[in-house]
Amino acid sequence: MTLSQKAFSLLQYPLPQHALSRLSGKFGQCDNPWVKSTLIKAFIKRFNVDMSQALEPDPSAYATFNDFFTRALKADARPLGEGILSPADGTLSQYGRLQAGQLVQAKGHTYSAQTLLGGDTALAEEFLGGSFATVYLSPRDYHRVHMPVTGTLREMIYVPGRLFSVNQATANYVPGLFARNERLVCIFDTEHGPMAMVLVGAMIVAAIETVWSGQVTPLAGQPQRMQFGQPITLEKGAEMGRFKLGSTVVMCFTKPVVFDDYPTGVMVSMGQALGHIDKPTHDSDAPPTSEPMV
């Protein structure tokens, strides 16, 4: 770790993280033509944003910066692969098995599934022996989050917390980063068993939305568990939420996932195949063997 990375991480502790993030939300929602156009043009230039795949490629057509940032893509921009899909465009920062209920954050850093999921012991136990994958969305990426498999929402849990940056420099230094930040935990029941989709807030992230409840964060105070009166089933590849500025998605599966041989830190696209659920061979699945006649 470089000295500048360490300094960047340390400087975030005393910052008024929530106030800065909410202020950015005010600017992002401003519909003054000069303000929003200046922000959008500067952002596209700074982060080299590719608008050719956007459903609306004209930057001036967006009413606010937030509308531009959460822009939709053309229907054929992200073909869906087989198996478990990447939920978003971004960097596949870590993936693998949960070891003793722990997820890998970065080299030398782990954190607990129980803390990530809001402190619920029984819920965390469902994921013991399962797998996880973490996708970091940089500012230039497409910022809608989609379903890696078809699932029916069981419950949604808002967990308050800090708003550290979630880039690699911070992940390398701040312990338990994804389990410290404000986050939205969405538990789905799937054909592969329960799945958790955790949308992690971050510095300057103005809000997190879901397609079934609209904007959820910012909230305050205590964790809040929310269930809905009718089944909410989302198909594989369907949009489930979005970030207003970049952040991270952590997926957890109760079943082991056989991931494709990706190096950590590789860029992935929404809909790209990441792997498949491991289906162990049982004795009952083996073909019958013939016994010698006596």
**Rounded distance, CA 209 to CA 240, Å?**
9
How far is C-alpha 199 from the chain's CA centre?
5
Cα–Cα distances in angstroms (integers) from residue 209 to residues 21, 38, 138, 198, in the given order? 15, 25, 17, 12
How far is C-alpha 280 from the chain's CA centre?
28
Catalytic residue among 21, 146, 165, 192: 146
| 247 noted as active-site residue | yes
Closest CA to 247 of 184, 160, 173, 174: 184
* Residue 121 near residue 115, CB atoms below 8 Å: no
**Rounded distance, CA 247 to CA 240, Å?**
15
SS3 state at 141: coil
Catalytic residue among 9, 21, 24, 89: 89
| 283 noted as active-site residue | no
| 290 noted as active-site residue | no
Residues known to be catalytic:
89, 146, 247
